Amino acid sequence: MNKPIRTMAVFCLLLFLALMINATMLQYVRAGALDKDPRNRRVIDAAFSRDRGAIMVGPDAIAESVKSDDRYQYQRRYTQPLLYAPVTGFFSYYSQTGIEQTQNEVLSGDDPRLFVTRLVDLVSNTSPKGGRVQLTIDPAAQKAAYDSLKAIPGVQGAVVAIEPSSGKVLAMVSLPSFDPNLMATHDFEASADNYDKLLHDPGQPLLNRAIQTRLPPGSTFKLVTASAALEDGLYEDVDSLVPGGPVYQLPQSTKKIDNGGRDCGTDKITMTQAIANSCNTSFLAIADELGHDKLQDQAEAYGFNSDYFTDLRPQAQSVYPTEADRPQTAMTGIGQYEVSATPLQMAMVAAGIANSGVVMKPYLVDRVLSPDLDVLDQTRPTEYSRATSATTASELTKAMVVTVSGGTAAPAAIPGVEVAGKTGTAENCSACKNYAWFVSFAPANDPQVAVAVMIQGSNVPNEDIAGGLLGGPVARAVMEAVMGS
C-alpha cells in the first residue's frame, strides 16, 4: 500500500473513531444531562403528553392528569389548588416545583422501580403511566389550618402540624397561596404570564413560608433555652426559682429590656411562671448564665443549623448563631439577635418535647405506589435526635400546660383537653410590625399533634399583635381537627 492511500486510511480510521467516541459520549456519558436539559423540547413534549401519576391525600387526588383534546393528550389538574399549592407545587411545560418536582421521576413513570410497568406498557404498545404519591397530610387538619389562618385580615404566614411520635407532616399551609392550574395550562404564553405575575406579586404567593421563610422565633425559643437550663442541671425542675424582676440590663451594655407589662415578680420566680408569663428578664439571665456553646448545642439538637426535610425543596435552614458575645448570647435566649427559624423547625421543637425529648425526622411522602397501586416504597419513621431527656420534656410540658390554662397561651385552650403551648412575639424593626408565633401540642398527656403557627404580616394593628391572640385560635383549630378525625 503506497503512502497516500495509507495516509487516507489512517485519516478515515481516526474520523471513524472520533465519530464512535462522539456517539458514545452523546448516547451514554451525556445522555442523562441532555435528557434533563431544559432546552430539550422533545423530552419535555413526551413528558407533557404522559399520563402523569396522582398526588394523593387520603383517598382523594389533589393533583391528577386528565385527558385533553390537544396534541399533549393529558392536562394536569389541581382539584383543591389554593389549599394544597405549597405542597403540590405545579407541573408546567417549563418547570416543576413542590412534590411535582421532588417526586417527578415517580409521577412521570421514569423511576427505576417502575421498570417492569414501563416494560409491560412497551410490549402492549400503551402509553406509559406514572406512579402515585401518597402524602401524610390529614385533610381535616389541612383545611382547619387554611381556614383559620385565612381568617386573619391580610395575613402572610404559615402553619405546620406534625405527629410527634412519627414525624408525619399532618398539615402544611402557607398564605397567600396560588392556583397551580394557571401554570399547568397548555396555553404556554398564558402559563408564562401567570408565573411572571405570581413571581412579582408583593405577597410572594409562590413562597412556601412553612419551610422557606425563617424569622426570629421570639419567645417560642424560650422553650429551647429552658431545655438547655434543665439539661445542664442549672435548674432541677420547673418549680425551681429563676431570675425574675421587671427589667434586665444586658451584660456589658446600658440597654435594659422589660417584660412588656407581664407579671414577672420583683426578684425570683419559678420557671413555670417565667414560661407561662413569657418573662424576658428570666430567659435573658438564664441564657447569659448558660453561655453560647450550651445554647447552640441545645438548639442544634432540635434541628437548628442543619437540613432534615427532603420531601420538598428548597428548605431554608433555621439558624442559631455560631458566634455571639455575652449581650448577644443573652438576646438569643429570648429568640432574638441572629436566631431565626422556619415554622417547620418550631413545630419540631414542640413535637420533640411532646415525644419525651425525641425529635423525629419530619416527612411528607408516606407511600409511593405503582399505577396498579402496588406499594413501591413506604417511609419509616426515623429518629432525628434526642434533644432532651424524658424528664426534661415532662417538666417543660407541665409548664406549657400552665401557659395555656392560666398564661399567655390561653387562646389555644380546648375544653376537656390538656393543651401545652407557648407564645412568641418577635421584633422586626422600629417602623415595622412584629411577628407573631405560637407552638403547641395536645393532648398533653398523650400527644397526637404538635403545631407551629407563624404570622409574618397582617392588617392587625401592631399593638394587637401577640402570638397567643393571633396564633392560638389557629393552633386550636388544627389540634381539634386532628383529635376529632
Report the helix count and the strand count for the chain, using DSSP H and E.
Answer: 19, 17
Q: Are 475 and 440 in contact (CB under 8 A)?
A: yes
Residue whose C-alpha is closest to residue 177's, from 62, 266, 75:
62
Q: Are 438 and 278 in contact (CB under 8 A)?
A: no
Instruction: Output Rg (C-alpha) for the chain, integer angstroms.
Output: 27
Q: Phi/psi at 211 (nearest 5 deg)?
A: -130, -10
Cα(280)–Cα(219) distance, integer angstroms: 8
Contact 331, 250 (CB under 8 A): yes
- Cell numbers found for residue 42: 422533545
Active site residues: 219
Tell me how far the alpha carbon of residue 159 is from its chain's centroid.
9
- Alpha-carbon separation of residue 82 from 90, 107, 276, 435, 471 (angstroms): 12, 21, 36, 23, 20
Burial of 82 (0-12, 13-18, 19+ CB in 10 A): middle
User: Could you report how far apart the first and last alpha carbons of the chain are, in Å?
Assistant: 88
